[in-house]
Structure 1
Amino acid sequence: MAEVYFKAYETYTRMRVEANNAIMALLAGSRLAAHTLQLTNGSHKLLPEIFPAVDHIARFSLKSETARELLLNADAHLGAVTVPYALAVHENFVSVALDLVRRAGVPLLSHGRHIKAWNMHETLFRSLGSPLPVTQLSQFHLLRHMRNATIHEGGAVSRQLIDAVNGMPGDVTVDWELLAGRHPQDIILPKTIAFTASDIFASFAITKRLGREINSALQIGLPPNVWAELAVEHFLEDPASITRTRNSDQWLRALWGYARKVYGGLSLSESELEQAASAMGVWTRPMGSVPSRRRER
């Protein structure tokens, strides 16, 4: 099923890409800096003396060899920061998706539990009548327990993390190994969690996959009137709306065209879009007063 880039999903995708690019820049930057410091091997000067024009270098007041060793081992620290970052961006999108379910008047099937990170996906897919993406969810929860252990257990391997690893199905484990470059058991063998660069890559890949699954579930589970309202809201921010006179034939036809382009996979009808615009108070002319171009031919 093709993705529908409704406003919240568009924002989520942009934020995820921006976060991914920024972290990849930091990873590559640490390697570039370590490579550059090879040129100063053997120097007894501190980095601020060698590179005085570099911003914030005074906070990294070390000799080249020590600084280079830190840079080459920066992945674990970047992972400890990045995995929670990637999950936070994703969990915010899941919260928005749950709000859309509420907006549609669909009951949230949380089994009476408060909706938190541990059950938000299951509640969402269950409420939308969509099957759970077992592979992605199992991997997400593994990342979540790694995140929680880092934040709440001082990096110590938690009982919940051990259970998540031991409970991971074989095919899911194989897929994790392809993404993260190590077996899940390798995460819990040490007493403390040590993130790798591949864990960073996996966190962005897994949340991207889950985002797509959520997009598909919303397409199926949300009623057309909610999608029509979302399309109108999105259109109101587009230049095609802003540059046209409200209530004009051109404005409504532009809405129809915009919905065909951005929300085409949903096959929203012209009347559904017109009804949504009318219900939202942005279209006040009688229903059906603007013939479509296709009917005019």
Structure 2
Amino acid sequence: MGRGIVQFAEYRAFEVQRQEASNAMMGLLAGAQLASHLLQLTAGSDTLLPEVFPRVPHIRRFNLRTEAALSILQSADTHLGAMSVPYALALHEDFLKTCVGLLIRDGKAPSNAANAVLAQLHDVIETATCKTFDPDSIIQIDTLRLMRNATIHSGGRAHQPLVDRVALWTPTAEKGWMRIAKKSLAGIAVGDRVEFGHAELILTLAVTKSLGRQTNVILRDSLSRSLWANLVIEDVLAEEPGILNRHQLERKAAGKARRYYAGLGLTDSELSAAMLVVLANT
């Protein structure tokens, strides 16, 4: 098949969600720093923040003096990271489940693959397609997943699965990690503190973006052309819930295929056949 990303409906939705989440996370991080900068103007004051900023919503829940508030805001990266990284991983997991659903629909994965979780989903896709993800990306996503698990289930302390995974890092995986995170987890021991900061959040967003694109290419080269053609028709009908006549549907499907599915090179005859199948099952 042709090169390039296939912008199928679920992938477009994933990209929008991923970008919105990224913007929101960066906004929260920037907001904490902006608030910290603003509070410099009240340094030394004994007045509580609700009295200084009475019109700020929810300020009474932050009923502190400037010095205490500054301390919290200046360390907000760690807390925001601990909340944001699991969210970013959840978005990635949801997209992978959608992709596995397409493989099941195409007869390339067993129906029970729908029950797979993040720790299994990349393997499920590789097994179903006989294609592979970048090994370093898998090492990094597994490490982030285990860091998340340690944060949620082990009180923010490294557990044995995380230690074992880091021990298997390749030099290139560690180099890629350090390029963004600016520090290595090599040598981490059970009980060590696991912290998420701005760098780990950026790393998570970068890794999930890369793996999302890799998944897209794997599907592009693995799903049957008939299923891709069906997805084009379904894409059109989802955006055009009104009644379309055959000519309108053919025209819109051709336009949709050119705009979002160009890398597949679907033909008019393939789209026409798909239209009959989809309409018969609608």
Determine the C-alpha separation between the residues in 2 that align with 1:166 and 1:212. 27
Matched, 1:207 2:198: no
Q: Which residue does 2:199 correspond to in 1?
A: 198
Contact 1:47 1:62 survives alignment (8 Å): yes
TM-score (structure 1 length as normaliser): 0.89
Q: Which residue does 2:183 correspond to in 1?
A: 182
> Mapping of 1:100-119 within 5 angstroms?
100-108=102-110, 115-119=116-120
Contact 1:5 1:262 survives alignment (8 Å): yes
Tell me: CA distance 1:8–1:114, structure 2 relative to 1, closer, same or farther (3 Å): closer
Match of 2:35 among 5, 11, 33: 33
Match of 1:274 among 264, 272, 275: 272
The Cα offsets for residues 242-277 of structure 1, whole Å up to 9 and x where unpaired, read as 68x623424312211221221010111111111111
The Cα offsets for residues 37-65 of structure 1, whole Å up to 9 and x where unpaired, read as 00000100000010000000000000001
Determine the C-alpha separation between the residues in 1 that align with 2:209 and 2:133. 16
**Range 137-146 or range 126-135, more displaced:** 126-135
- Provide the secondary structure at the position in 2 that maps to 1:144: helix
Structure 2, unaligned runs of 5 or more: none
The Cα offsets for residues 78-130 of structure 1, whole Å up to 9 and x where unpaired, read as 111011000000000000000000000113499x9962221211111221121
CA RMSD of aligned residues (A): 2.2
In the comparison of the two structures, how many residue pairs are matched? 280
Determine the C-alpha separation between the residues in 1 that align with 2:111 and 2:177. 29
TM-score (structure 2 length as normaliser): 0.93
**Range 80-89 or range 275-284, more displaced:** 275-284
Structure 1, unaligned runs of 5 or more: 285-297
Letter of the 1:131 partner, please give it: T
- Provide the secondary structure at the position in 1 that maps to 2:279: coil
Determine the C-alpha separation between the residues in 2 that align with 1:90 and 1:107. 19
Letter of the 2:220 partner, please give it: Q
The Cα offsets for residues 147-187 of structure 1, whole Å up to 9 and x where unpaired, read as 00111111111101111111110011001101211112276
Contact 2:159 2:190 survives alignment (8 Å): no
Determine the C-alpha separation between the residues in 1 that align with 2:45 and 2:190. 39
Q: Which residue does 1:125 correspond to in 2?
A: 126
Determine the C-alpha separation between the residues in 2 that align with 1:271 and 1:127. 28
Letter of the 1:4 partner, please give it: V
**Range 245-254 or range 78-87, more displaced:** 245-254
More helix by share: 2
Determine the C-alpha separation between the residues in 2 that align with 1:53 and 1:186. 49
Letter of the 1:266 partner, please give it: L
Tell me: CA distance 1:283–1:207, structure 2 relative to 1, closer, same or farther (3 Å): closer
Letter of the 2:216 partner, please give it: N
Contact 2:137 2:211 survives alignment (8 Å): yes
Contact 1:34 1:72 survives alignment (8 Å): yes
Determine the C-alpha separation between the residues in 2 that align with 1:283 and 1:97. 21
